[in-house]
Structure 1
């Protein structure tokens, strides 16, 4: 679970990267569909699943909006992300393993876009946070 130090580190990092959330989301989602092509199946209803496509950008923005909610609900991710968990489990039917894949891509993108802010401590804390988000999103699958 997240310690107070982790929570503070995540909030501090988010305060620096939040204004670039749309770009992070686009790059992370674009990276995911290239590096993990099996994830394209969730987006087969889009006219194109190519990096930078407007649908990718829009969904990347949604993903990062969800993470912004998670940051604001960091003290109780399970309750804070309950609606998103329900949506991903029952409506979208996303395999929860994909949350970990996207989390990895988000970490990679943040590390490349914000190398000075992505300290080892920030990395550890953000990784724990994203793992907590993945667990919270997967709660309805059980």
Structure 2
């Protein structure tokens, strides 16, 4: 598994300062991209309207990005921070672990699009590593 360096952590925190307050919008867009591009992801929300602009998409997007904001706030103890989320996704929701990296890619796209001046090569690599670590921890309970 990737390890986050001090520079990675600083880069993630610096970018996340610009995400704060926009979790709803960024999460909505990232999930919208995933739900549009990967049809089978709809199976986790059979009774929800997942169309662009829907309440369900905004609500869940805010939850996802809020969880990532919490992870950033506790970046030095990600494993303990994400244990409940991992349990929930593995045992209650039974989300296919293959969906997590796909969502991470969509989050990277959204952040790069909305924060182009902040998204240098080094920052992109740090965010990618952070998302990789968080996603791996979220699927760690599947074993």
Q: TM-score, normalised by structure 1?
A: 0.96
Aligned residue-pair number = 141
Structure 1 residue runs of 5 or longer lacking an equivalent are none
CA distance in 2, matches of 1:60, 1:73: 20
Match of 2:19?
17
Structure 2 residue runs of 5 or longer lacking an equivalent are none
Check whether the contact 1:96–1:138 (CA below 8 A) recurs between aligned residues.
Answer: yes
Q: 1:43 aligns with which of 45, 56, 71?
A: 45
Matches within 5 A, 1:1-142: 1-46=3-48, 48-142=49-143
Q: TM-score, normalised by structure 2?
A: 0.95
Secondary structure of the 1:22 match is helix
Deviations 1:64-115 (A, max 9, x none): 1100111012112111100000100111110111111111101001111111
RMSD (CA atoms):
0.9
**Runs ≥4 residues deviating over 6 A:** none
